[in-house]
Amino acid sequence: MLEVRNLYKTFNAGTINEKKAINGLSLTLEDGDFVTVIGGNGAGKSTLLNLVAGVFPVDDGSITIDGQDVTRLPEHKRAKFIGRVFQDPMMGTAATMGIEENLALAYRRGQARGLRYGINNEERKLYREKLAILGLGLEDRLTSKVGLLSGGQRQALTLLMSTLKKPKLLLLDEHTAALDPKTAAKVLEITETIVRRDKLTTLMITHNMRDAIAHGNRLIMMDSGRIVADIRGEEKKNLTVQDLLDKFHVESDRMLLSE
Amino acid sequence: MIGENNMDVLLSFLNSLPGAFGQGFAWGIMAIGVYITFRILDVADLTVDGSLATGGAVAALCISQGWNPWLALLMAVIAGMIAGLVTGMLHTACGIPAILAGILTQLALYSINLRIMAIGSGASTKATLALSVDRQELLVSSRYVREVDLSNPLFLLVIATVVLIALLYWFFGTELGCSLRATGANQAMARAQGINTNWCKVLGLVVSNGLVALSGALLAQYQGSATVDMGRGAIVIGLAAVIIGEVLLGKVFRNFALKLLSAVIGSIIYYIVLQFVLRLGLESTDLKLLSALVVALFLTIPYWKGKYFTKKVRREVGRNA
């Protein structure tokens, strides 16, 4: 579903602040893979996701989604294939617009936007059903401004928006990191439900090793812009935090992760 | 003696009210344009100082060449849209910060407006182009602002305002309009949802400057001339109108159409207040200072409110004990 080949990205090239964020990374995701990504600060996790999403251009290498080369495609065109949830709860939704308006924007991801009405009554019914699944009571607040919602509610809504039209690839960039533990667990639970139900190919960055182990069918560990471990199948199922910690010490002593 | 003097001031003020309404409505259309960039796109577009005069110049030129005044309005709107397009391209395609892009277009338009008004006159540049309701067919003229029939410019201005607000209300409810609002609200989110934010910004600037030029075209007819500096400080007047409207009506007007209307009402209030302070003895050249102060003040209040005057929590003693 996703094929990343020989990816390179350097920030501030040629200056004293030069940072090789991604350094010859290759990665192939099979259809339906749910991959958790861990790695220390500066390992290049977020850069990888941003490159796949097209937030900034690659220096070298190629990115293919479902057989289509998207390496040179601008961000808004790639959005057709990709659903995204960001770390910052403020980033995934438009605060000054209503819940239903945000959903209507997401419902038209990848479509040409013309002079038809921005939202219709049939959609509202659909949104109400989808919101009810979240179990946050948002289904009765369709016209409320998103700015009035809590961080957890906004992340849940963003998650719903990113999957409202089934994406070929779902990118989750530490989407629970800014939430309190209870809310984070709830959002993660919703994530698991949606990903399983729609069999979404997913890349999920997390700082939490337990979460990385508990979720998905595959785990990759990054360091210095490369993948240093790729654990799947039975090995992933039997993985423990201690295993990961041992691996970390072997791979790099610069990594700092929360358990 | 003093009472009589006050009476004079009041009478001349009341006498000036119809004119204030006329100007307020004409500038109100401009304020709607400013609302689109400032409030919806979250960009302070300084092109408007130039595009207002461009609208006036193009309309005055067309009318003085004997064109139908409606056609003249249309040409003015198109000219304004092109100005917005230039600013939009400077900003998105060339990566120039929006404010600077607007300033560049505004400056360039100064030269262009001088040239536009000279077309057909034999001169190479011209700073003023006079229109006369005696010689030309004008849609609005301040001369008839006290008439009680259809020649009263307020009649057409009110209809134009209502039609424009209805059109914009419809447009910002469409898919395209929603993507414009999303672009102003959160660009990262808009792009993640597949919205071409650059194109949306350009479109917003085009629509906004089209409205501003329309306002300029109406103003030139209303006051009987287009001048090269008729747009000087227009952005500040537009902002003042938007902000006055919000401060006075923001709590009551929740609907989008009403928010646009509040910008127009803000513009009318602005001109009424100006007429009043003029009667108190200020020179008309002092008005720019006054406008700047009004805008600075109303932009400061919400900031200071949030920073220094946090709401006191009312303690309900013994309630939960």
User: Using the 8-state DSSP alphabet, how is residue A138 labeled?
Assistant: G
Q: How far is Cα A31 from Cα A34, in angstroms, rounded to an integer?
A: 9
Q: Which of residues 165-184 of A touch B (CB under 8 A)?
A: none
CB-nearest partner of B192 from A74, A79, A116:
A79
Cβ atoms of A28 and A220 closer than 8 Å? no
Residue A92 lies in a domain: no
Provide the number of structural domains found in chain A. 1
CATH classification of the domain holding A25: 3.40.50.300
- A186 to chain B nearest CA, in Å? 22
Residues A121-158, buried b or exposed e (16+ Cβ, 10 A)?
A: eebeeebeebbeebebebbebbeeebeebebbbbbbbb
Cβ atoms of B50 and B163 closer than 8 Å? no
Residue A47 lies in a domain: yes
Cβ atoms of B213 and B48 closer than 8 Å? no
Nearest by Cα to A5 from A253, A250, A232, A227: A227
Nearest by Cα to A79 from A168, A7, A176: A168
Chain A partners within 8 Å of B95 (Cβ): none
pTM: 0.92
Cβ contact A118–B174 (<8 Å):
yes
CA distances from A246 to A159, A207, B221 (A): 33, 16, 81
Closest residue of A to B178, CA-based?
Answer: A118
Residue A57 lies in a domain: yes
Q: What is the 3-state secondary structure (H, E, C) of A13-73?
A: CCCCCCEEEEEEEEEEECCCCEEEEEECCCCCHHHHHHHHHCCCCCCEEEEEECCEECCCC
CB-nearest partner of B173 from A77, A109, A118:
A118
The per-residue pLDDT for range A103-161, each reduced to its tens digit, is 999 999 999 999 999 999 999 999 999 999 998 999 999 999 999 999 999 999 999 99
Q: How many residues does chain B have?
A: 321
Q: Is the CA virtual torsion A115, A117, A119, A123 positive or negative?
A: negative
Q: How far is CA A152 from the centre of its chain?
A: 16
Cβ contact A97–B181 (<8 Å):
yes
Q: Which of residues 89-128 of A touch B (CB under 8 A)?
A: 90-97, 101, 104-106, 108-111, 113-119
Cβ contact B186–A105 (<8 Å):
no
Closest residue of A to B186, CA-based?
Answer: A94
CB-nearest partner of B191 from A76, A97, A116:
A76
Residue A4 in this model has a pLDDT that exceeds 60: yes
- The token duo for B46 is 């300084």
Chain B partners within 8 Å of A49 (Cβ): none
- Residue to substitute from B171, B172, B189, B198, interface A, most A β-carbons within 10 A: B189
- The token duo for A118 is 């921005």
CB-nearest partner of A84 from B179, B192, B195:
B192
The pLDDT score that the predictor gives to residue B206 is: 98
Cβ contact A119–B178 (<8 Å):
yes
Least reliable range by pLDDT among B4-8, B70-74, B200-204, B234-238? B4-8
Q: Report the pLDDT averaged over residues B174-191.
A: 96
Chain A partners within 8 Å of B204 (Cβ): none
C-alpha angle with apex B36: B34 to B38, nearest 5 degrees? 60
Cβ contact B195–A162 (<8 Å):
no
Chain A partners within 8 Å of B194 (Cβ): 76-77, 79-80, 108-111
Q: Predicted ipTM?
A: 0.91
The per-residue pLDDT for range A149-163, each reduced to its tens digit, is 999 999 999 999 999
Q: How far is Cα B31 from Cα B14, in angstroms, rounded to an integer?
A: 24
Q: How far is Cα B147 from Cα B220, in angstroms, rounded to an integer?
A: 20
Question: B183 at the A interface (CB within 8 A)?
Answer: no
Q: How far is Cα B189 from Cα B293, in angstroms, rounded to an integer?
A: 36
Residue A171 in this model has a pLDDT that exceeds 50: yes
Cβ contact B188–A86 (<8 Å):
yes
Q: Report the pLDDT averaged over residues B199-213.
A: 98
The pLDDT score that the predictor gives to residue B314 is: 57
Going from the N-terminus, what domains does chain B have, and what CATH number goes with each? 2-308 (1.10.3470)
Question: B175 at the A interface (CB within 8 A)?
Answer: yes
The runs of H, that is alpha helices, within chain B are: 2-35, 48-64, 69-92, 98-118, 153-171, 175-185, 187-192, 197-223, 234-249, 256-279, 287-308
Residue A236 lies in a domain: yes
Residue A100 lies in a domain: no
Where is A197: in which H helix or E strand?
helix A181-198
CB-nearest partner of B178 from A95, A104, A110:
A104
Percent of chain A with pLDDT over 70: 95
The pLDDT score that the predictor gives to residue A258 is: 46
Residue A255 in this model has a pLDDT that exceeds 70: no
Residue A109 lies in a domain: no
The pLDDT score that the predictor gives to residue B283 is: 84
The per-residue pLDDT for range B12-51, each reduced to its tens digit, is 888 889 999 999 999 999 999 999 999 999 999 999 999 9
Residue A227 lies in a domain: yes
- A89 to chain B nearest CA, in Å? 11
The pLDDT score that the predictor gives to residue B311 is: 62
Question: B177 at the A interface (CB within 8 A)?
Answer: yes
Q: How far is Cα B84 from Cα A15, in angstroms, rounded to an integer?
A: 38
Cβ contact A77–B194 (<8 Å):
yes
Question: B167 at the A interface (CB within 8 A)?
Answer: no
Residue A36 lies in a domain: yes
Residue A257 in this model has a pLDDT that exceeds 80: no
- Residue to substitute from A88, A101, A105, interface B, most B β-carbons within 10 A: A105
pLDDT band for B151, please (50, 70, 90 cuts): confident
Closest residue of A to B175, CA-based?
Answer: A118
CB-nearest partner of A96 from B185, B192, B197:
B185
Full domain range(s) for residue A210: 2-81+167-251
- A107 to chain B nearest CA, in Å? 9
Q: How far is Cα B238 from Cα B289, in angstroms, rounded to an integer?
A: 15
Chain A partners within 8 Å of B200 (Cβ): none
Cβ contact A113–B176 (<8 Å):
yes
Beta bridge partners of A171: A84, A203
- In total, the C-beta contacts within 8 angstroms joining chain A to chain B are 87
